[in-house]
């Protein structure tokens, strides 16, 4: 009743209030699971008490939550849905077989290691749960032990997550080599034909294919402009429907992929740096290099404590002073820097921002 009245009273159940329910049963009343995150709920921790709140929550689960779950399960196999969209006729016939073979090996190695981690974690959690169930059945389980058990299960889940990320860090490097070796259409088609592929494999290791998917599925964009010869009328004005260039999301996809690589510590840095343009051809050069190679590397030259970025013996850019110190790197003492994204160019064209991923 305190919970029900909380929106009006602004008083929410305190730990002391909850003790009335928590201490009444060896296990928690079943309705209490709905205040937890679904992923953290262990069914054996709860018992049906035949109380009013358990009865009501059972009706809600039966008539609403179960229906929602049934709807969700219809879309469970997202990997198959993604694979179907990745299939295409633009792939390289000559490269396809070798690309598919490399992906099949990578997929097997990746999933085998994850399955080992999963089995070990499940075995440890099952052991703890069996010990807990036995103690409850023999009336030798306390609230302190319950909290200790919850902490152990949470720790085991976190350990599994950490181990998964270590595997991701190991194999994302291999995946990047495949991404450099083959064109995106061939990689996409190969992933589309992988057997028993998982969503984790695609998202964790081959996130860049979603840019290909975006371009493939992108609808035409149109704007309406005032025109005397327009064929559409609105509020006494004539308008013409004009097709415009599609929005380019490639940098968004690449940025997310770099964020993941940075989080996994596969790359040392991922930082945006603003620079002053010294050469009129700098922007065109950067765009060309990024499109062709996915990266551009500048040599670093220091003049009067200023950091100048040089390409082909030409002074192209000057780093603004506030970006000279990047984490443990001082650009005053470095040889070169690699950029992978042109974030933006100032309207004046006199400065721009780049995403750096490597400093030497």
Tens-digit pLDDT profile for residues 14-47: 877 777 766 665 667 888 888 777 777 777 778 8
Q: How many domains does the chain have?
A: 3
Judgement on whether residues 207 and 99 belong to the same structural domain of the protein: yes
Out of 103-107, 231-235, 355-359, the most confident range is: 103-107
Q: Is residue 254 part of a domain?
A: no
Judgement on whether residues 120 and 211 belong to the same structural domain of the protein: yes
Domain ends where: 20, 47, 73?
73
Comparing 23-27, 49-53, 134-138, which segment has the lowest mean pLDDT?
23-27
Q: Is residue 239 part of a domain?
A: no
Global confidence as pTM: 0.63
Judgement on whether residues 66 and 185 belong to the same structural domain of the protein: no
Q: What are the pLDDT digits (tens) for 278-310?
A: 988 899 999 888 888 888 999 998 988 899 999
Judgement on whether residues 83 and 207 belong to the same structural domain of the protein: yes
Phi, psi of 202 (to 5 degrees): -70, -50
Judgement on whether residues 58 and 97 belong to the same structural domain of the protein: no
Those residues whose C-beta lies under 8 Å from the C-beta of residue 181, and which sit 6 or more positions away, are 99, 102
Q: Is residue 227 part of a domain?
A: no
Domain ends where: 73, 90, 111?
73
The whole-number pLDDT of residue 117 equals 94
| Domain around 12 | 2-73
Judgement on whether residues 210 and 130 belong to the same structural domain of the protein: yes
Residue 337 β-bridge partners: 298, 359
In this prediction, what percent of the chain has a pLDDT beyond 70?
A: 94
Q: Is residue 342 part of a domain?
A: yes
**What is the rounded CA–CA span in Å between residue 121 and residue 161?**
10
Residue 223 β-bridge partners: 242
Q: What are the pLDDT digits (tens) for 166-204?
A: 999 999 999 999 998 999 999 999 999 999 899 889 988
Q: Is 219 exposed, middle or buried (0-12, 13-18, 19+ CB in 10 A)?
A: exposed
Domain ends where: 47, 73, 99?
73
Which whole number is the average pLDDT over 142-165?
88
Residue 359 β-bridge partners: 337
Q: Is residue 138 part of a domain?
A: yes
Judgement on whether residues 52 and 82 belong to the same structural domain of the protein: no
**What is the rounded CA–CA span in Å between residue 123 and residue 129?**
10
Judgement on whether residues 210 and 99 belong to the same structural domain of the protein: yes
User: Predicted confidence band at 72 (pLDDT cuts at 50, 70, 90)?
Assistant: low
Which value, in Å, is the radius of gyration of the alpha carbons in the chain? 29
In 55-197, where do the E strands start and end? none
pLDDT at 74 over 60: no
Q: Is residue 248 part of a domain?
A: no
């Amino acid at each position: 009743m305190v919970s029900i009245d909380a929106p009006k009273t602004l008083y929410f159940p305190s730990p002391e209030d909850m003790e009335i329910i928590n201490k009444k049963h060896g296990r928690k009343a079943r309705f209490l699971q709905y205040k937890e995150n679904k992923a953290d709920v262990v069914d054996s921790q709860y018992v049906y008490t035949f109380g009013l709140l358990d009865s009501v929550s059972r009706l809600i689960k039966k008539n609403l939550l179960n229906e929602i779950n049934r709807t969700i399960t219809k879309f469970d196999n997202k990997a198959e849905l993604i694979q179907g969209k990745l299939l295409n006729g633009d792939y390289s016939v000559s490269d396809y077989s070798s690309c598919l073979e490399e992906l099949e090996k990578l997929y097997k190695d990746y999933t085998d290691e994850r399955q080992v981690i999963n089995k070990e974690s499940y075995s440890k959690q099952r052991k703890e749960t069996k010990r807990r169930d036995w103690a409850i059945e023999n009336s030798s389980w306390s609230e302190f032990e319950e909290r200790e058990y919850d902490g152990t299960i949470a720790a085991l889940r976190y350990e599994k997550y950490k181990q998964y990320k270590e595997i991701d860090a190991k194999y994302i490097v291999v995946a990047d080599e495949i991404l450099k070796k083959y064109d995106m259409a061939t990689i996409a088609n190969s992933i589309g034909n992988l057997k028993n592929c998982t969503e984790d494999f695609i998202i964790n290791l081959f996130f860049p294919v979603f840019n290909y998917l975006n371009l493939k599925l992108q609808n035409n964009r149109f704007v309406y402009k005032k025109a005397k010869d327009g064929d559409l009328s609105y509020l006494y004005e004539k308008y013409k429907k004009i097709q415009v260039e599609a929005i380019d999301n490639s940098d968004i996809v690449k940025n997310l992929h770099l964020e993941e690589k940075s989080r996994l510590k596969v790359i040392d840095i991922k930082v945006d740096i603003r620079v002053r343009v010294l050469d009129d051809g700098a922007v065109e050069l950067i765009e060309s290099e990024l499109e062709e190679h996915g990266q551009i590397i500048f040599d670093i030259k220091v003049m009067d404590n200023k950091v100048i970025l040089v390409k082909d013996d030409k002074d192209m850019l000057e780093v603004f002073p506030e970006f000279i110190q990047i984490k443990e790197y001082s650009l005053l003492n470095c040889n070169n820097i690699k950029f992978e994204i042109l974030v933006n160019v100032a309207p004046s064209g006199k400065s721009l921002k780049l995403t750096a991923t490597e400093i030497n």
